[in-house]
């Protein structure tokens, strides 16, 4: 069976004695920094609803929401029994284990609290965050690929890759699929909605499009992504990623309809 060799990229980007910086950490930093810069550019298209200093002040809030929400989401959604037995392992984030759905909830809470404190429109500010979110998703999936984690199911497709952690059989590079769909495609769609159709003038449109778009992209890739070993296929037909995407899809469609009706 033909397969592409997995590129031997060291997960550690920089190592100075006991100090090590992993590509995974750099991916988070790149996503947050580039997302912040992009949000600053978009404030001019909100009609004054969001100012640049609001975006600057939110960076720390966003970072905490992503990291804390992502980690707690992974603990609660994917491996609750293990972490209940090994609570100190919850703090061992350098070993991996982040949940997008948990990170989303964390950022939603952070956004709501920040918007309430600054007396901002939750939907307008949320639209900016969601417009920039695909940047972070793209870098995060590339980091997943470098780590050789979250790989796909066994396949005979010509671009299949043998992952070191996935045994001897070639598999779908599902991390790259997600990077393209959740990162590049969603970013392009939102850019068109913003720059061509002025979507930021209808609060909730981009947030709804992000929730619905991510839910569809993630659910599609789940058909070729290897299910979590400790969960498998739930109820005989759905994965945890797909199950958690259902409420996102429903909320996303509702937000889009609400925004269009309000306009």
**35-63 pLDDT, tens per residue?**
999 999 999 999 888 999 999 999 999 98
CA dihedral 62, 35, 70, 78 (to 10 degrees): 160
Q: How many CB atoms lie within 10 A of CB 102?
A: 23
* Cα dihedral: 220, 226, 229, 235 (round 10): 40
Name which of 150, 130, 164, 144 is nearest 39 in CA terms: 130
Q: What is the pLDDT of residues 156-183, one digit of tens each?
A: 999 999 999 888 899 999 999 999 999 9
Residues sharing a CB contact under 8 Å with residue 52, sequence separation 6 or more, in sequence order: 40, 43
Q: What angle do CA 140, 73, 57 make, to 5 degrees?
A: 65
pLDDT 10s digits, 175-225? 999 999 999 999 999 999 999 999 999 999 999 999 999 999 999 999 999
Checking if the pLDDT of 230 tops 90, the result is no
Give 94's pLDDT tier (boundaries 50, 70, 90).
low
Confidence of residue 91 (pLDDT cuts 50, 70, 90): confident
Q: Which strand (E) or helix (H) includes residue 4?
A: strand 4-5
Rounded-to-integer distance, Cα 258 and Cα 263, Å: 9
Three-class SS of residue 250? helix
- The residues with which 238 forms a beta bridge, in sequence order, are 234
The pTM is what? Answer: 0.89
- pLDDT single digits (tens) 126-162: 999 999 999 999 999 999 999 898 899 999 999 999 9
Q: Are the C-beta atoms of 98 and 109 separated by less than 8 Å?
A: no
Percent of the chain exceeding pLDDT 70 equals: 97
């Amino acid at each position: 069976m033909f397969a592409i060799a997995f590129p031997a990229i060291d997960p550690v980007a920089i190592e100075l004695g006991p100090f090590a910086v992993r590509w995974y950490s750099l991916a988070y930093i790149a996503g947050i920094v580039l997302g912040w810069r992009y949000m600053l550019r978009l404030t001019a298209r909100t009609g004054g609803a969001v100012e640049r200093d609001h975006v600057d002040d939110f960076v720390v809030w966003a970072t905490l929401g992503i990291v804390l929400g992502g980690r707690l989401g992974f603990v609660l959604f994917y491996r609750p029994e293990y972490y209940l037995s090994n609570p100190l392992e919850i703090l061992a984030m350098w070993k991996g284990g982040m949940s997008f759905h948990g990170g989303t909830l964390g950022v939603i809470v952070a956004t709501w609290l920040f918007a309430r404190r600054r007396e901002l429109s939750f939907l307008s500010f949320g639209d900016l965050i969601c417009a920039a979110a695909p940047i972070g998703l793209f870098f995060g999936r590339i980091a997943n690929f470098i780590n050789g984690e979250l790989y796909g199911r066994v396949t005979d497709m010509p671009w299949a890759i043998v992952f070191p952690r996935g045994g001897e059989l070639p598999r779908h590079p599902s991390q790259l699929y997600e990077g393209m769909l959740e990162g590049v495609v969603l970013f392009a769609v939102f850019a068109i909605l913003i720059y061509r159709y002025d979507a930021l003038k209808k609060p909730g449109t981009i947030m709804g499009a992000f929730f619905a778009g991510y839910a569809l992209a993630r659910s599609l890739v789940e058909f070729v992504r290897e299910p979590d070993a400790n969960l498998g296929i739930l109820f005989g037909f759905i994965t945890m990623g797909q199950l958690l995407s259902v409420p996102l899809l429903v909320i996303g469609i509702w937000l889009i309809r609400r925004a269009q009706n309000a306009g």
